[in-house]
């Protein structure tokens, strides 16, 4: 295109020199245009500097010819001169581009031709303009790039009379090559990459898939390179190089709780057992609340892969406080042994999944002491063996490519206690939960100047959780009751402050980023658990929290004000 334009300029230059040789320096009496049936003369002359009353200049004429040509409507531009009234008349001769009869797109699969035409200002029935159409093609390419298809491009444009043919190249993944892994099985890495052979490459989705792969904790580093075959620019090979790290660790912990006193213990964990993406953990905590546990799970699931988990936990708790509707009744000793095994899978629509868990719990309550006057003992009569089958159904519409929680997730659970499997109880519990994560940047846009504090990657976020449950039994066994109170339910109350066979709860948080790694959280919790669903007897709390991103996870500090006291909690991760 550049060579053709240079040749055209050269021809025009020679022509102009030949025609103007004898007229240079003479006064211009008129300026006209010929050969423009569609483009207005005034529009064309608006860009030329040769005007009636000026003196003819070779450099100005050449500049005017180039300016008219650069308007984009013409395939040829020249200047002719003739004597007129003692001066010279200048006529710019143009040849218009053809009128557009049609614009046809080829190779586009991501967007329909109608969608692409919305980016095109050039329309049928108008004179083709090179500059306008170049901008049209830029907007089409920008549409692809904005949506993450950065390798897509306009590969060819053919103009045949008034018919324009635009070819779009949408490179597809030819192969995904994985290297550097010596322990982790290749299939464990590959299943995290939703971008498969034959898919159109999308950098946004792929970047988040790499982030999820890095988030598994198996690798120190994950790098990607691209290779385009010399004989086929419609495909691209992805070369993924990982650098593995140790996934097994030994943890030592020491803590103090107002109820449990001093405690400490050891934990051995491997988050990538045998390189198969399985989690294994065994450990113990000693103290007035002593716990021993072992779990093994394979958490990954999709429409073809089952997730599963098995485990056991034994706990002894000496002189534990027992609360009834928020009031401390007495102290007791507790021993529980829990065994569980579960399996789950996603449906063909992977927004939906199910998980089935078989659980056996043997609880023993004893040594009731320090009872208050008029206390009610609805705890110790309920020890024994409980055998349950729990089914969870989940609908997850969160954006899996978002760097923060965004969207909606709903789950419902059915837990059936059965005697035929060796249990002593027979009841059905059922509860449902909805969680919403809504970025508010767009709502506040134009209303407040936040100075870039809240970005698309780290927005002001409203998080809400609503949970409600009931059962077929008027009174559930103590270990099976719904329980509220503590850092993960009602933050302004002791754990297990409210218990019953029915419950409802709402948690609402406004998460406000104040730096790239620090956020403030304002929260409000409300709910109740009781023998009956009494919506009028709610308990609530409110408070402030701080979240700090650390290499070990999201550090969480919450200060909550309840009905009778204020409580402070420290932990890792969000509440929900």
465-487 burial, b at 16+ Cβ within 10 Å, e below that, comes to bbbbbbbebeebbbbbbbbbbbb
127 shares its domain with 234? no
Edge-to-edge, what's the strand order for the sheet holding 87-96? 28-34, 87-96, 74-84
> Would you say residue 260 has pLDDT above 60?
no
Q: Which whole number is the average pLDDT over 70-77? A: 95
Residue 270's pLDDT band (cuts 50, 70, 90):
very high
Residue 107's pLDDT band (cuts 50, 70, 90):
very high
Residues whose CB falls within 8 Å of the CB of residue 47, separated by 6 or more in sequence, listed in order = 64, 67, 68, 70, 71
Residue range 311-366, pLDDT digits in tens: 999 999 888 888 877 788 999 999 999 999 999 999 999 999 999 999 999 999 99
Any idea which of 70-84, 319-333, 410-424 has the lowest mean pLDDT?
A: 319-333
327 shares its domain with 236? no
User: Phi, psi (5° rounding) for residue 159?
Assistant: -115, 115
> Would you say residue 2 has pLDDT above 50?
no
341 shares its domain with 222? no
Token pair recorded at residue 464: 């809400």
pLDDT of residue 239: 94
Domain for residue 157, yes or no?
A: yes
Distance (Å, whole) CA 261 – CA 279:
30
> Would you say residue 22 has pLDDT above 70?
no
Range from 138-142, 216-220, 562-566 that averages highest in pLDDT: 138-142
Distance (Å, whole) CA 149 – CA 158:
23
306 shares its domain with 382? yes
Q: Which of 70, 96, 122 is where one domain is finished?
A: 96
What CATH number is given to the structural domain containing 91? 3.10.20.310
CA dihedral 211, 212, 215, 221 (to 10 degrees): -50
222 shares its domain with 350? no
Domain count, the chain: 4
181 shares its domain with 148? no
Q: How much of the chain exceeds pLDDT 70, in percent?
A: 92
Quote the domain boundaries for residue 152.
Answer: 102-169
Domain for residue 7, yes or no?
A: yes
469 shares its domain with 356? yes
**Number of C-beta neighbours around residue 86 at 10 A:** 8
- Could you tell me where the DSSP H helices lie in 57-167? 58-69, 113-117, 130-146
> Would you say residue 160 has pLDDT above 70?
yes
Nearest to 328 by CA among 276, 370, 265: 370
User: Phi, psi (5° rounding) for residue 469?
Assistant: -155, 160
Residue range 275-326, pLDDT digits in tens: 999 999 999 988 777 899 999 999 999 999 999 999 999 999 888 888 877 7
130 shares its domain with 85? no
């Amino acid at each position: 295109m550049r060579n053709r334009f240079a040749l055209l300029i050269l021809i025009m230059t020679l022509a102009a020199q030949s025609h103007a040789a004898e007229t240079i320096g003479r006064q211009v009496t008129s300026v006209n245009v010929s050969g423009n049936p569609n483009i207005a003369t005034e529009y064309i002359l608006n860009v030329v500097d040769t005007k009636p009353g000026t003196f003819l200049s070779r450099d100005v004429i050449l500049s005017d010819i180039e300016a008219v040509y650069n308007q984009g409507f013409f395939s040829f531009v020249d200047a002719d001169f003739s004597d007129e009234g003692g001066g010279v008349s200048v006529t710019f001769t143009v040849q218009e581009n053809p009128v557009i009869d049609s614009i046809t797109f080829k190779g586009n699969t991501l967007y329909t031709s109608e969608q692409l035409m919305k980016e095109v200002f050039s329309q049928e029935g108008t004179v083709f303009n090179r500059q306008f159409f170049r901008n049209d093609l830029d907007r089409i390419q920008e549409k692809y790039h904005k949506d993450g298809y950065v390798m897509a491009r306009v590969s060819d444009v053919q103009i045949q009379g008034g018919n324009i043919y635009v070819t779009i190249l949408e490179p597809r993944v030819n192969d995904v090559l994985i290297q550097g892994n010596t322990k982790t099985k290749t299939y464990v890495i590959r299943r995290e990459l939703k971008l498969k052979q034959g898919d159109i490459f999308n950098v946004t989705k792929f970047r988040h898939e790499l982030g999820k792969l890095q988030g598994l904790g198996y690798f120190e580093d994950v790098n990607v390179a691209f290779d385009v075959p010399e004989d086929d620019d419609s495909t691209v090979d992805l070369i993924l190089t990982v650098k593995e790290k140790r996934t097994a660790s030994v943890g030592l912990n020491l803590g103090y709780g107002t109820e449990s006193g001093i405690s400490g213990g050891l934990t051995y964990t491997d988050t990538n057992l045998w390189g198969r993406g399985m989690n294994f953990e065994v450990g113990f905590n000693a103290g007035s609340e002593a716990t021993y546990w072992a779990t093994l799970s394979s958490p990954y699931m999709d429409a073809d892969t089952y997730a599963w988990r098995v485990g056991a936990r034994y706990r002894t708790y000496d002189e534990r406080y027992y609360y009834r509707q928020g009031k401390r009744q007495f102290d007791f000793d507790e021993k529980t042994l829990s065994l569980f095994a579960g399996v789950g899978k996603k449906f063909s629509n992977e927004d939906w999944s199910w998980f089935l868990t078989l659980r056996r719990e043997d609880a023993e309550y004893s040594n009731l002491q320090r009872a208050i006057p008029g206390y009610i003992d609805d705890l110790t009569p309920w020890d024994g063996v409980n055998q349950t089958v729990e089914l969870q159904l989940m609908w997850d519409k969160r954006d899996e490519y978002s760097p923060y929680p965004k969207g909606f997730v709903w789950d419902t659970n059915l837990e059936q206690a059965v005697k035929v499997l060796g249990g002593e109880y027979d009841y059905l519990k059922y509860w449902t939960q909805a969680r919403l994560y809504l970025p508010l940047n767009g709502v506040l846009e134009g209303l407040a100047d936040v100075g870039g504090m809240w970005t698309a990657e780290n927005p002001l976020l409203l998080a809400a959780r609503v949970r409600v449950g009931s059962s077929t039994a008027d009174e559930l066994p103590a270990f099976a009751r719904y329980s509220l109170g503590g850092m993960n339910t009602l933050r302004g109350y002791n754990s297990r402050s409210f218990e019953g066979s029915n419950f409802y709860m709402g948690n609402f948080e406004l998460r406000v980023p104040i730096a790239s790694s620090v956020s403030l959280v304002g929260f409000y919790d409300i709910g109740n658990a009781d023998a009956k669903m009494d919506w009028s007897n709610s308990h609530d709390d409110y408070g402030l929290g701080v979240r700090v991103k650390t290499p070990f996870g999201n550090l969480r500090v919450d200060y909550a004000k309840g009905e009778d006291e204020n409580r402070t909690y420290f932990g890792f991760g969000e509440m929900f």
